[in-house]
Amino acid sequence: MIKFLTCFFVFAYVFAKAQAPEQNEYHPDPKKRIINLPNYDDKKLHYGFFLGLNYNRLLIDESDYFINSKVLRTVTPVADLGFSLGFLMNVRLHDQLSLKFIPSVGFYDKVLKFSYYSKQTPDTDSVSVSKPEERVETTFLELSILLKYKSMRRKNHRFYVVGGVKPCIRVGGKSNDKKTAGAGVFDVRRTDFCIEYGTGIDFYFKYFKFSPELRFSHGLLNINSTNTNQYNLSIADMLSHTITLYFFFE
C-alpha cells in the first residue's frame, strides 16, 4: 500500500515538474507567467474520458462448511491486476465543489487459493494442493457518483479529494446459472455496491486538463455465489476491495 501511494505522488510530482518549463508558470516576472485555461472552472459542465489500472482482492470470512471440512485446509484471497475505461461528466456546484458522474467498464480477476489436507486426513502436517488457484474473470458496468472538493487553484494545478458510491452490474465472464451451480466452478454474484474515496491533482495544460487520481473502493454486498460447490460453500461472506490509479483527460 505504501509503495502504491509513493509511486502515485512521485509520478504526479515528476509530471508537474516536466511540464513546468513549458508552462513557465513560475517565472519570476509575473507578466511572463503563463496560466493555462484561466476560465476553465467557470463552466457548468465538463466532459472527458479516462483509463484506470486497478489492484483488487477479495475479503472473505470462512463458513461452517469450511471449518467442518475434512478436505479443505486453507482458503486465501490472491490480489490481481485489472483495468477500466470510460467517460466522465463533471457538474460544477461551486468553485471548490463539483459532482462527477463516471460510467465505466471494469475488468477484474477474482482469485482464491485453496489448499487441501493430504490424503484427506486433518491431523497430518503435510498439505497437497490440488488446484493452486480458483479464478473467475469478470467484466462490470459501473457508475461512480462522486463529490469532488477542490483546493484553491495555484497556478496551473489544484489538489482535490473525492468520495461517493459506485453501483456495479456484471455483464461478462462465467455466467452464474443452473448450468454452473453444481459444476465445481468458483463464481461471484452479478451485482455489487461500493463506497469510494480518494485524492488527486488537476493539471491545467494549454488545451486540456489532466488529472491523475488514486481511489479506494470497498464493496458493501456479499458477492459470494450461491453455487453448491466446495469453493463457494467454504465462504460465508465475500467483499470486494480495489485500489485504482486513474488518468483523467478533460
Q: What is the pLDDT of residues 92-151, one digit of tens each?
A: 999 899 999 999 999 999 999 888 776 545 555 555 555 667 888 999 999 999 999 999
Which is more confident, 7 or 227? 227
Spatial distance between the Cα atoms of 1 and 31, rounded to a whole number of angstroms: 43
The pLDDT of residue 70 is 79
- Each domain of the chain, given as residue ranges in start order, spans 2-63+78-111+137-249
Spatial distance between the Cα atoms of 196 and 192, rounded to a whole number of angstroms: 13
Q: How is residue 192 written as a grid cell?
A: 455489487
**Is residue 108 a contact partner of residue 80, using CB atoms and an 8 Å limit?**
yes
Long-range contacts of 175-180 (CB under 8 A, 24+ apart): 176/225, 176/226, 176/227, 180/227
The pLDDT of residue 27 is 52
Which is more confident, 227 or 174? 227
Q: What is the pLDDT of residues 38-60, one digit of tens each?
A: 888 889 999 999 999 999 999 99
Q: What is the pLDDT of residues 72-98, one digit of tens each?
A: 788 889 999 999 999 999 999 998 999
**Is residue 80 a contact partner of residue 40, using CB atoms and an 8 Å limit?**
no
Q: What is the pLDDT of residues 203-248, one digit of tens each?
A: 999 899 999 999 999 999 999 988 878 888 889 999 999 999 999 9
Over residues 151-176, the mean pLDDT reads 86
Domain 2-63+78-111+137-249 falls in which CATH fold?
Porin (2.40.160)
The pLDDT of residue 68 is 85
The pLDDT of residue 193 is 97
